[in-house]
Chain A
Amino acid sequence: MPLPTTNEIIEDLEFFDDWEERYKYIIDLGEHMPKMPAELQTHARLVKGCQSNVWIDVSLKHDKLHFQVDSDAIIVRGLLALVMAAYNDKTTEQIRAFNINEYFEKLDLEQHISPTRGNGLRAIVAKIQGFAVT
């Protein structure tokens, strides 16, 4: 199942009014995201968070950046799916043009990419933005 688009995710999440339903949806998105092969989960691809770890691999396919990501935490995996909906298989121009802070604010999830969270998500976003500069 392909990931929904960022606009679909925004619409879907607006539909839920309690936190539990929202996070179940996010967890579900994470579960439908392809798993990163274990052999790719190397130290070089690791972004260490204080509380959980995230791995990221990047390759170039037909002028688009293709990412494989994973996390040892279930909720962070779901949040990564939200990030992938925004960035995966996009050109560097598209990645640079996308306003991730605004997107997370619309999802009412901005706390997860704030500097106080030690889940590695902010570091991943910074990494992806870094790939898109070159």
Chain B
Amino acid sequence: MSFDVQEIRAQFPILSRTVHNKPLVYLDNAATTQKPQVVIDALVNYYSYSNSNVHRGAHQLADEATRQYEAARDTVADFIQAADRCEVIWTSGTTESINIVAHGLAILLNESDQVLVTEMEHHANLVTWQQACKASGAKLVVAPIDDNGELIIDQYLSLINENTRLAALPHASNALGSLNPIKLLTTQLKKRSNNKALMLIDGAQGIAHSSVNVAEIGCDFYVFSSHKLYGPTGLGVLWGKQALLKDWPVWQTGGEMISEVSYQDATWNTLPYRLEAGTPNIAGAIAFGAAVNWFTKLDVKALLAHEEKVFSYATAQAEAFNGLTIIGQASHKVPVLSFIMDRGHPADIGFILDRQGVAIRTGHHCAQPLMERLNVPGTARASFAMYNTCEEVDILFSSLEKVKQMLA
């Protein structure tokens, strides 16, 4: 097998549109990836031919919808090598997945407990734990990064102790791209906490750029969003070990998560349903199943190598570009290029690039404390996916020349 980027591009309808009369160069993939035709078809087909509520109906459509919906769960369970399909909980996205765990943890924590996070967190993996600690009186411990945006491993390890109840760690930083050694840190967390601490990996930025095997990582929770892996928005996954999830405090109540109800009491359904209240995002789950099936049929090794090639090319151009400073120079990164320029605010850069058809993200990337730590007001961020090309990198840098010229 191999990887032909033009063949891939042809499967994404949006990539052939123009913006301000220029061909679209989409470099905002860390925010959300574009969708291949198979995913769009899965959404349209579901609503055209199978739309029905799952698990409840006494008719053919309900059976079909339920089968497709549950098949998607199997697909995702296989994709991340979950021990059991019931460990895959559908959520609305990474943020909700983290909230389910944090909500439960807040109930289980007490004042002598500690929760360990890092300086590179996205707000979703910071504010959730911060609030859980505030509610329970536990202590939030923040592990430092160095000026390259890399986690300082020695210091991280020294912050783990027998009071550590949970560590929340990003697989990769959304703002800087820094890739964390999640397996090593999980092993050490278990060892140094005397097996008392749980590890949650925020996989939002990792899932599309690596082969995730939750059993091999050894973590307790791995969470991610469909829309960053070529699937639809509004759907995410909470994967957790069955032994933990089966008794985890329920998050929302109502709907399929209930087993028996009287006016005064209720009992909960089994996994995965006990953590899925209300009518779920059926179309989203089915289309995400289609996305994962599509992704795994590709030559994943070759596509990651292609991303790496395009990203290295972009990094080399950025290093050679006068007046540009790369923010985040960790030794291992997902394809995220964050930068600032001597003249011009990130918002100016984003605006002028947009006029040339180049879509990037600017601002604090939902990581305000991290921006303060790095002493920047925000950055411009170009983030890459499998369909980006070296020609697009050339357009990015010729557009940045225009930024320099206009703001001179």
User: Which residues of A approach B to under 8 Å, CB–CB?
Assistant: 19-20, 23-24, 27, 49-53, 71-76, 118-119
Contact = CB atoms under 8 A, between A and B. Distances in A.
A52 B344 CA distance: 11
B346 A19 contact: no
A24 B345 contact: no
Contacts, number: 45
A118 B406 CA distance: 22
B347 A19 contact: no
Contact of B377 (A24, A72, A75): A72
Given A51-B347, A51-B350, A74 B378 contact: no
A76 B377 CA distance: 15
Given A20-B406, A23-B355, 20 more contacts: A19-B20, A20-B402, A23-B352, A27-B407, A50-B363, A51-B347, A51-B350, A52-B345, A53-B377, A71-B345, A72-B345, A72-B377, A73-B345, A74-B343, A74-B345, A74-B407, A75-B347, A75-B352, A76-B345, A76-B348
B34 interface: no
A19 B346 CA distance: 19
Contacts of B344: 73-74
Contacts of A19: 20, 355
A24 B406 contact: yes
B388 interface: no
B363 A74 contact: no
A113 to B, nearest CB: 14
Interface residues of B, number: 18
Contacts of B378: 51
A27 B347 contact: no
Interface string B122-154: 000000000000000000000000000000000
Contacts of A76: 345, 347-348
Contacts of B407: 27, 74
A75 B348 contact: yes
Contact of A73 (B20, B347, B355, B402): B347
Interface of B: 20, 343-348, 350-352, 355, 362-363, 377-378, 402, 406-407
B69 to A, nearest CB: 33
Contacts of A75: 347-348, 351-352
A134 to B, nearest CB: 31
A52 B343 CA distance: 15
10 nearest A-B residue pairs (beta carbon) = A73-B345, A52-B347, A73-B347, A51-B347, A51-B363, A74-B348, A75-B348, A72-B345, A73-B348, A51-B362
Nearest to B363: A51
Contacts of B377: 53, 72
A75 B348 CA distance: 6
B117 to A, nearest CB: 23
Nearest to B366: A50
Contacts of A74: 343-345, 348, 407
12 contacts: A20-B402, A20-B406, A23-B406, A49-B347, A51-B350, A52-B346, A53-B377, A71-B345, A73-B348, A74-B344, A75-B352, A76-B347
Q: Give the residue among B347, B351, B407 with the most A Cβ atoms within 10 A.
A: B347
A132 B56 CA distance: 58
B343 to A, nearest CB: 8
B192 to A, nearest CB: 39
B363 A118 contact: yes
A24 B402 CA distance: 12
Contacts of B347: 49, 51-52, 73, 75-76, 119
Contacts of A24: 406
Contacts of B345: 52, 71-74, 76
Nearest to B343: A74
A23 B402 CA distance: 12
Nearest to A52: B347
Contacts of A20: 355, 402, 406
Nearest to B378: A51
B362 to A, nearest CB: 5
A19 B399 CA distance: 14
B323 to A, nearest CB: 14
B406 A51 contact: no
A32 to B, nearest CB: 16
A6 to B, nearest CB: 22
B403 to A, nearest CB: 10
B360 to A, nearest CB: 11
A72 B345 CA distance: 7
From A49, A71, A75, name the one whose CB has the most chain B CB atoms within 10 angstroms. Answer: A75
A75 B351 CA distance: 8
A7 B345 CA distance: 29
Contacts of B346: 51-52, 73
B237 to A, nearest CB: 27
B364 to A, nearest CB: 8
B356 to A, nearest CB: 9
